[in-house]
Amino acid sequence: MRVLVTGGAGYIGIELVKNLVTFDEVAEVVVYDNLSRDSFSLFVGRKHPGFEKITFVEGDILDSRSLLKNLADIDIVYHLAAKVTTPFANVDPHYYEQVNHWGTSELVYAVELSKVKHLVYTSSIGVYGSSDKQVDEGQPPNPRTFYAISKYRGEEQVKRLENKMKVHIIRCGNVFGYSPGMRFDAVINKFVFEANFKKKIKVNGDGMQTRSFIHIDKVARGLAELLRSDTAAGTYNFVEHNMSIMEIVDTLKELMPELEFMFVNQHLSLRKILVKPNEIMNRLANGSSQNLDFKAEIEELISHLRF
């Protein structure tokens, strides 16, 4: 089986590729990435077993000719490539639209002309907009940011393939945790960095805003297992913890009692998003539906910091 991963050199992509190359049924993993984030962690460091299966292609998802060429004889595509910039999800709407919407459209067009049998698209829980109670996949999308709008439009493009092949749309929560290609604009990763090296973190608003989070290892394992599971095609939420910002701060204070925090615009109550975990995806990631302990996940992340 040959697999192509768009955005395979990114934060999630690196960990997904690490999982895929361990599967006996996977003969080759094509990492298709334009390296726009200047993240080269995939290419350096300790050699992992199975990495000889990787082929790298520097390519853009807006380049349909390159996509068509590299999709030849591919069996499954993981579409991770996207414009993601947290917390500036309402900046530069044209860039989000161009990459996340029309880039996905170009990929779908190329997939339609190929022999691909299975497409996995990583979307975002941001498509729900906001909620005061946990929502599931039956909740109508109501995206509020340029980023979320572009990801939902990407979903609509991917759905064109539903009658032609197996399609999974996976709406991921806010991803955190260690990876060589870490993003430090993600809230938990940013907090851990600031807490460890600065001993002080900034909280925007009153800190009561809630988000749904998931560890990078779970995301990578769950996505990889879709390749060899009988999980029905469809749209799935992929989250682990529903937490407020202050709950995250409290966990960090427990691990680092000397930590200080300050509020910025404390009078503001910011948007909440609460999403019900999907047991099917969590079983793929864990081998069970039981969640891991958040404090232990944070301790593990801290352990990867050099000093």
**pTM of the full predicted structure?**
0.94
How far apart CA 228 and CA 168 sit, in angstroms, is 13
- Spell out the residues 6+ positions from residue 190 whose beta carbon is closer than 8 angstroms to its own: 184
Indicate if the pLDDT at residue 289 is higher than 60.
Answer: no
pLDDT digits (tens, 9 = 90+) for 102-160: 999 999 999 999 999 999 999 999 999 999 899 999 999 999 999 999 999 999 999 99
- pLDDT computed for residue 48 by the predictor: 82
pLDDT at 291: 59
278-281, long-range: CB < 8 A, 24+ apart: 278/136, 278/137, 278/236, 278/237, 278/238, 278/239, 280/231, 280/236, 281/170, 281/222, 281/236, 281/237, 281/238
* Segment of 219-228, 264-273, 289-298 carrying the highest mean pLDDT: 219-228
Q: Name all domains of the chain by residue range, CATH numbers in brackets.
A: 2-175+214-240 (3.40.50.720), 180-211+242-273+292-302 (3.90.25.10)
